[in-house]
Amino acid sequence: FPMAATDPQVLALAAQITESTEQDIPLLLLKLKGILSSPSLGCEESKKIKQDMYDYGLTQYCLLVLKRDHSQLRGAWATAAQLAEILSHCCVGLEVKEDPEEFSKKFLPSAVDSLLVLGKRLQARYIRAIKDKEKQDFLHWFQIVTDAICWLFGGHIQLAACVLQNDRFLQLLITDDVETAIIMMSVLHNILRINSSVLLQVEEKILHSVLDELVYKLSSTTNPAVGSAATKLLLLVAKFCKQLVQLFTAHYKGLKELLSEQWAGKGFDRELNQLLDLLCLEESNGKGEMQKQHQAACIVQAAWRGFQTRRRLKKLPQAVITLQRRFRAKREQELQHLTKQKEDEALKLQMQLQRQRAMRLFHERQLAFLEVVHASQVNKYMEEMEEKSALTIQRFWRGYRARRIFHQQKQSLKEYKAAVIIQRAACKFLEKRRRRRPLSPWKEPKGLTDEQRLALQQKVDDYIKLHPASQMSEETSKELHMQAQAKLAQFLLRSRLDQRAAQRREALLAQVNTDVELLMNAPGLAETTEKDLGAFMSRSIPVATKARQTHNTMLKYTRWPWWKKLGDEFMEDDVIPDDAINTELETLFIGGRK
């Protein structure tokens, strides 16, 4: 830092910027505008403050901030436009004492390039904007940047040629937008007013490009403001550079007719007449056969360019619609990608925070438990925790390995299932076809020939000789036959008895089911009527007598004292056990029993 006396405001601001983050630096640099616009500053004091700003690197900071992505700044484009204005005011009137060559040949051209880049981006945003408020804001910021450029090359005249030779200046000038085109032509007007010979210092290609654009604007638009600005520029070029009038008449043969027919009576007739007079004067000095041929060629070229222009203008709306649609689709895709990326980052951050919180709680619980556990049990507890941790890790690893193996075998499993399905379908198809196949007609087997019959008889005889049959007497055979007949009769008798027993069991089961249904559907004792009693009374006199006797016996049994019910020895002969009662009556329901 310089050792001379420094303005305290500049010194304090430099200290703040040194200690601040990159996001806060642009807003801090905006304070330079208040320092430069202080009404108490004189000419010498202003130069001294600008020198201090450059020495402390504040001016360089402004240039570095302008080279960044302007949409990421705080305040976005408004901050960038104000910094451009501050940078131009800091550079104008600044006399660098140490290394002035670097300042004039490196720093100032870099500043011009940064301002032109900012102007190009603002122009693009202004053209793409839809809302009126956005268009007005971008146009205002674009005007501030162009004023800063004009102020910069107004204080340093050598920058006029640098601005004109920059490719971005020509890109800004070549536009179909009316407002920004008028502003850029005013910048070109200031360049020619400050340095009238600058067009002769630039390359011929750049000169032709600028003049072609001015003539094109005269031929392709009907806006009086654009026509007036272009006409005044051509007049200024013709006045300051007499040799360029020959270029007008040689390369733009139809310019005179274009000006007189299309732009007469549009509100700038004085400048238009002066330009026409200069063109007529130049044409009268160099008329000849060659000029007529060139004029005819220029007319053809102008007609062809007019045809191309009209055709391009007809296709322009559709092209603009297509371009806008693709741009909106691309912008929507970018927004979706950014949204998804932000959501993924937020999810990742949330998962990380959850893991950290869970780990912190685990450590807190572990520390709290260690405080409670006796010192002799700490090692045992740590071993148990290590064993549990190892089991958890092993369980997760086995699960991961099983899932990986399953995914690897998933394709083979799918192929196996597909093969099984195909095989099943093929088997069903073959089975159906086999069933549908008609039976072949029966064919009588072929008889044996004499030779075959003799050979077969010989084999039978040989077998009988090798395996002779056992001899059995007639009495033994009859006895064996009688035993077989007896066993057969016994089997038939047993089968008949078993059949009758099965029929009796089925009848009893049917009767039991019927009685159960009657009892389940029977009403309560309070709701019973005489009609309901008929369903439970038997018409058989022996059955009714036996049921009455059993009922009386049970009533008598219930009135016995407890000591008579302790064993079978205390029962009377007329008392019938429950099993006997159930066996005899089988389907009879004993009321009051559980």
More confident residue, 418 or 112: 418
Query: For residue 591, what pLDDT band results from cuts at 50, 70 and 90?
Result: very low
Q: How far is CA 246 from the centre of its chain?
A: 63
Handedness of CA 162, 164, 170, 172 (dihedral sign): positive
- Burial of 495 (C-beta count, 10 Å sphere; 0-12/13-18/19+): exposed
Predicted confidence (pLDDT) per residue in 345-355, tens digit:
999 999 999 99
Instruction: Tell me the C-alpha distance between 175 and 173, whole Å.
Output: 6
Checking if the pLDDT of 564 tops 70, the result is yes
Predicted confidence (pLDDT) per residue in 120-129, tens digit:
888 888 888 8
Checking if the pLDDT of 262 tops 70, the result is yes
In a 3-state reduction of DSSP, which class is residue 586? coil
Q: How far is CA 153 from CA 49, 147, 342, 548, in A?
A: 21, 10, 44, 137
Instruction: Tell me the C-alpha distance between 94 and 53, whole Å.
Output: 10
For the ranges 23-37, 313-327, 477-491, 547-561, the lowest mean pLDDT is seen at 23-37
Torsion of CA 177, 183, 186, 192, to 10 degrees: -80
With tokens 């007949």, the residue in question is 485
Predicted confidence (pLDDT) per residue in 39-75, tens digit:
555 577 777 777 777 777 777 777 777 777 666 666 6
Q: Where are the domains of the chain?
A: 8-202, 542-571
Q: Which stretches within 373-469 are classed as H helix?
A: 378-436, 450-466
CA atoms within 13 A on the CB side of 305: 16
Instruction: Tell me the C-alpha distance between 82 and 69, whole Å.
Output: 15
Query: Model pTM?
Result: 0.46
Token reading at 320: 């603009």
Q: What is the pLDDT of residue 349?
A: 93
